[in-house]
Structure 1
Amino acid sequence: MPTLAIPRPSEAELKRTNQSFYDGLWSGARLVDPARFNTWPMVRDLAMALPRRLEIAPGLRPRLPLDGTYFIDISQAALQALRGHGASAMRASISALPCPDASFDLVCALDILEHVRDDEGALQELTRVAAPQARLMLSVPLHESAWTAFDEFVGHYRRYEPAHIVEWLAAHGWTVEQSAVYGMQPTSTTLLNLGQWYLSHQRERAMWWYNRVIMPLGLRLQKPLRWQPGLPDNPGVDEVLLLCRRT
């Protein structure tokens, strides 16, 4: 699938990178209510219509309603905060979900598959726990040509090509019904390098600024998301939100 000669970390290295980055991020953060995100208008009615819901690895940024949704995460800080707000949450990973087959009508995994070395196994698990006619909500970064050092730093293993991900999902019984332009990655190489330097050399300070300044500002500056049919191949889009139906 990759089109560029990008060095790929081992599974152990990838797990260490992800664990270190997100443990540091969530340990100093507060849980953000799902209604504050621009995804809320898109998932609110869907979530209410599909009461058996699973969200995987939301950290402290859940997108589905806290009440009635079952959450899976590997971060103890995230699990503690989710439970403290009344949510049902268990420690586990996407590669081995502690859930019965066909047990959810809505499965949500945002910004997850790019962090997993075995994304094939992860998608098989998502499919296994999804009931017939279930919906699957995913978000993934696009285009290997857009790879930067920041992808590696935050624990990405890959980016996806639009045509490939549509075919890949179809092979597992999913049809991409709608998509929306999603995510906010800085286009400035200088800003990316500066952010990476602070995260490498002054991680605690960088995390404080992200959680206390950058994240609240980002919430205020969010743009409305709009669904479009299918998944067009948009070269300039960095990340995409997908809504899929089980076929």
Structure 2
Amino acid sequence: MAHEASIPGIREFFAARADTWDSKYPDDSPRYAAAIAELGPLDGAFVLDAGCGTGRALPLLRAAVGPTGTVLGVDVTPEMLRRAAAHAPAARVVLADCQRLPLPDATADVVFAAGLVNHLPDPAAGLRELARAARPGGRLVLFHAIGRAVLAARHQRALTPDDLRAEPNLRPLLAANGWRMDSYTDTDDRYLVIAVKRGE
């Protein structure tokens, strides 16, 4: 499960795609909405959208937490974050590395991470940092609007056994870094993993 991503490389990759990202995937919003709805009531919650990109989840999360809740979008790419700020003016957005979050310990009730884990330079360190920022019992949502097989086909790649998003690889990775996997779904029309932060 080798990862060669770096923060400068990630920024360069996404900066070049920021302006066309949403128009490239116009049908994803209902799938985001369905995933967020499955989390149940979030009224008053603090939700961290880790690697928020252009902010497609931010308005949905903002609506879900209600007037007493907080939504914070964090991304490492300025160009993506500018689009996120325009997308969801009622949510706060911050330029930051998800492996070094500008948050105190045990802050987030929910960490929503769409398409993040495979872009982390060090997935174990990233998951540990997300766990640090989540309260005990808080939830981590790993989401993609399509499943692994469809995503691989879109990029003209084959699925390989070392894909860290595969359940046999992801479950122990989560467990070693502060999380307990609660559910795992990988179908053509969505990838959704929900994990719970273990108590201290």
TM-score, length-normalised on structure 1?
Answer: 0.60
Q: TM-score, normalised by structure 2?
A: 0.72
| Residues in 1 aligned to 2:74 and 2:16: alpha-carbon distance in whole angstroms | 18
CA distance 1:132–1:27, shift in 2 (3 Å):
same
Say whether residues 1:38 and 2:31 are aligned partners: yes
1:71: how far off? 0.4
Matched, 1:89 2:93: yes
In structure 1, runs of 5+ residues without a counterpart are: 3-7, 153-157, 185-222, 226-239
Aligned counterparts, 1:102-121, within 5 A = 102-121=106-125
C-alpha contact (below 8 Å) 1:33/1:62 kept by paired residues: no
Contact 1:70 1:89 in 2 (8 A): yes
Aligned to 2:135: 131
Paired amino acid for 1:58: C
Q: Distance in 2 between matches of 1:131 and 1:78?
A: 27
Deviations 1:169-214 (A, max 9, x none): 12233221122225x6xxxxxxxxxxxxxxxxxxxxxxxxxxxxxx
The higher relative CO (CA closer than 8 Å, separation ≥ 6) is in: 1
Looking at structure 2, the residues matched to 89 and 40 of structure 1 have their Cα atoms a distance apart, in angstroms, of: 20
- Match for 2:78 among 71, 76, 79? 76
1:63 aligns with 2:68: no
Q: Which of the residues 18, 40, 46 maps onto 1:26?
A: 18
Give the conservation status (yes or no) of the 8 Å contact 2:115–2:143.
yes
Alignment partner of 1:173 out of 175, 178, 181: 178
Identity between Structure 1 and Structure 2 (%): 19
Structure exhibiting the larger radius of gyration computed from Cα positions: 1
SS in 2 for 1:39: helix
Which residue pairs with 1:246 in the alignment? 197
Deviations 1:70-115 (A, max 9, x none): 0001222222233233120000011111111000000011211211
Q: Structure 1 or 2: larger strand share?
A: 2
Shift, 1:27, TM fit: 2.8
Runs of 4+ aligned residues of structure 1 deviating over 6 Å after TM superposition are 31-35
